[in-house]
Amino acid sequence: MHPCAFYSRQLSPAERNYDVGNRELLAVVLALTEWRHWLEGASQPFLVWTDHKNLSYLRSARRLNPRQARWSLFPGRFNFTLTYRPGSRNAKPDALSRQFDNPASDPTSQDTILPHSCVIGAAVWEVEHAVQRAQVNCPSPPECPPGLLFVPPSTRSSVLQWGHCSKVACHPGIHRTLTLLRQRFWWPSMASDTREFVQACTICARGKASHRAPAGLLRPLPVPHRPWSHISLDFVTGLPPSEGNTTILTIADRFSKSVHFVPLSKLPSALETAHLLVQHVFRLHGLPQDIVSDRGPQFTSRVWNAFCRAIGATASLSSGYHPQTNGQTERANQDLEAVLRCVTASHPASWSTFLPWVEYSHNTLVSSATGVSPFMASAGYQPPLFPSQEGAVAVPSVQDHLRRARRVWREVRAALSRTASRNRALADRHRVPAPDYVRGQKVWLSTRDIPLQCESRKLSLRFIGPFVIDRVINPSVVRLKLPPSLNVHPSFHVSLLKPVSSSSLSPPTEPPPPARVVDGGPAFAVRRLLGVRRRGRGLQFLVDWVGYGPEERSWVPRSFILDPALISDFYASRSAGSGCPPGGVP
């Protein structure tokens, strides 16, 4: 017979005030509570030994204090016998209970409960031995706290890697990494080195989302001097068919806030968009100086650029995945969709019928940015709705009308300047200045809006790169050198970037393996195949390359894969029920 379990617990300050009888009874109750899952309901009775003889009369006692009476209810659930055993015959439990009686004794000198024959080994870390070996040539300074190991400069990189990249750490932040290291190690520049090392960790930079305020202060577009000199364009798609139309072209004047809503049957090409501007804008308001749009295929084509050069206008395109650049048209689209939902609630397919009235209401109602209606800001008067209002808008001469129009324009421009300043102050409250990027600097690119080929969007990288800055367009937009496989425009707002940090204590990043020459051509190592799709008469596979990130994954024909085992392993993983990889065909 041998022990199968041990139980020990420190008494609370209140329990220490109990008399010896209550403390002995408390020990029995706590033991029954600890092993209740073994003892309660057991078919065979069990025996409880105690060296306190008064407990053996607990069940037959006639008078119990309130505490004893309360505790005596719990043992009634068990089938056991409480037997007295003298202390001379109860040596083992008595020895265990007295090992902490002398708090002044050195606990390190006491033997463990388990015999040495049962100890296999203790958990040790190689980094600790490496630090101790390095201390032979670099001894610990006198200011090192007692109980901690001084880390010489030669082993600080290894200690930081253990405290941040090991399995017991799992890439924590600066504070947690520093707290873990301070449990055993010390050196004078420990805090600054840890901060520098964690900030330079490439795994953390790619895998962790940024919780800081967006970078880049608001830079409003310049305020125009007259109506329809600066316009912006955008499309509203996904509408139900209405009289053969499914798309709306929104044309907004950045000065007066006037809009034109043009229903279309489909998204137009660059040439068709140019014809629409001639028909709906140029013949009514003249040629503009600047046209703001997103980076749709209509506005990035050479036809559109040639059209803008021919009319003497500049084509201003928004930065990648930053629609705030064309915020006025985006806001006009939101108002348009909200109004259409209200007026077509019972019949959504009739939105084409209400579109002229939506445009009229938008242009005749007061704009919060200018304080007047777009019609008033553009034409110099408010169109009357009732015959009694004709006298208010009538002018005695053309000169009076021109003077009134110029006065309205001056007031509108002043209001737009005040609105821009107010919006900038409100927006900058939740932003921070962007770093001063320079050409050739490396940055990380956010994957928030980039369509990566990955198995799980939730577990995908939050940043990719690093990429080199090719050109700084302005303090808010930079152009990057991107791989062709991304297939996105290389201009991005600074809020989607973060600079790459470096540290002398961080291990150098391994470059991708070079290409091998096979049959006279380059061949790259493949980690695995992620997906398959049909293209023409053949198949293409999504390849994850060794040494490259997810932004470099690409589709290659089956004939380009030189190792047939990759294809067989890919289909074996699909048949095993691992799920359909991205782009996979059924």
What pLDDT digit, counting tens, does each position of 162-202 carry?
A: 999 999 899 999 999 999 999 999 999 999 999 999 999 99
Enter the tokens of residue 466.
């690093």
Please report the pLDDT score of residue 579 as a whole number. Answer: 52
Strands 477-480 and 463-474: antiparallel
Q: What is the 3-state secondary structure (H, E, C) of 64-85?
A: CCHHHHHHHHHHHHCCEEEEEC
- What are the tens digits of pLDDT across the range 390-440? 766 666 677 777 888 888 899 999 999 999 999 999 989 999 999 999 999
Q: How many angstroms separate the CA atoms of 242 and 22, rounded?
A: 87
Set out the domains of the chain in order of their start, with CATH numbers.
15-97 (3.30.420.10), 126-200 (1.10.340.70), 230-385+398-420 (3.30.420.10), 441-499 (2.30.30), 516-575 (2.40.50.40)
- What are the tens digits of pLDDT across the range 537-552? 889 999 998 888 888 8
Q: What value, to the nearest 5°, has the Cα angle with vertex 67 and ends 62 and 69?
A: 35
Please report the pLDDT score of residue 459 as a whole number. Answer: 85
401 within 8 A of 395, measured Cβ to Cβ: yes
Q: How many angstroms separate the CA atoms of 512 and 526, rounded?
A: 12
200 within 8 A of 503, measured Cβ to Cβ: yes
Q: How many angstroms separate the CA atoms of 483 and 550, rounded?
A: 11
- Locus of tokens 């939740």: 430
**Residues in Cβ contact with 270 at an 8 Å cutoff, skipping those fewer than 6 apart:** 297, 298, 299, 301, 303, 304, 307
Enter the tokens of residue 483.
């791989």
465 within 8 A of 445, measured Cβ to Cβ: yes
Please report the pLDDT score of residue 201 as a whole number. Answer: 93
Q: Is residue 430 packed enough to be buried (19+ CB in 10 Å), middle (13-18) or exposed (0-12)?
A: exposed
**Span 302-330, mean pLDDT?**
88
Half-sphere exposure of 392 (CA within 13 A, CB side): 9
- Locus of tokens 């005040």: 418
- Nearest Cα to 309, choosing from 339, 274, 340, 279? 274
Helix or strand (DSSP H, E) at 573: helix 564-575
Q: How many angstroms separate the CA atoms of 103 and 52, rounded?
A: 24
E-strand stretches of 180-225: 185-186
Q: From the CB of residue 354, how many other CB atoms can be counted at a distance below 10 Å?
A: 17
**Span 294-317, mean pLDDT?**
91
Q: What value, to the nearest 5°, has the Cα angle with vertex 451 and ends 447 and 452?
A: 75
Please report the pLDDT score of residue 110 as a whole number. Answer: 47
> Which residues are paired to 493 by β-bridges?
477
Type of residue at 309: R
**Residues in Cβ contact with 282 at an 8 Å cutoff, skipping those fewer than 6 apart:** 311
> Which residues are paired to 555 by β-bridges?
542
Enter the tokens of residue 409.
């324009």
Regarding pTM above 0.75, the answer is no
Strands 526-535 and 538-545: antiparallel
Please state the φ and ψ torsions of residue 103, each to the nearest 5 degrees: -70, -15
- Nearest Cα to 259, choosing from 362, 405, 408, 335? 362
Tell me, what DSSP letter sits at residue 319? P
Please state the φ and ψ torsions of residue 49, each to the nearest 5 degrees: -100, 140
pLDDT at 107 over 50: no
Type of residue at 278: V
pLDDT at 259 over 90: yes
- Nearest Cα to 235, choosing from 245, 226, 221? 245
Please report the pLDDT score of residue 103 as a whole number. Answer: 47
pLDDT at 160 over 60: yes
- What are the tens digits of pLDDT across the range 70-101? 777 777 788 877 787 776 676 666 666 666 55
pLDDT at 124 over 80: no
**Residues in Cβ contact with 38 at an 8 Å cutoff, skipping those fewer than 6 apart:** none
Q: How many angstroms separate the CA atoms of 468 and 96, rounded?
A: 67
184 within 8 A of 164, measured Cβ to Cβ: no
E-strand stretches of 179-324: 185-186, 230-236, 247-253, 259-264, 290-293, 314-317
Q: How many angstroms separate the CA atoms of 472 and 440, rounded?
A: 10
- What are the tens digits of pLDDT across the range 212-226? 898 988 888 889 999
Burial 397-412 (b: 16+ CB within 10 A, else e): eeeebeeebeebbeeb
- What are the tens digits of pLDDT across the range 142-152? 999 998 999 99
**Span 256-281, mean pLDDT?**
94
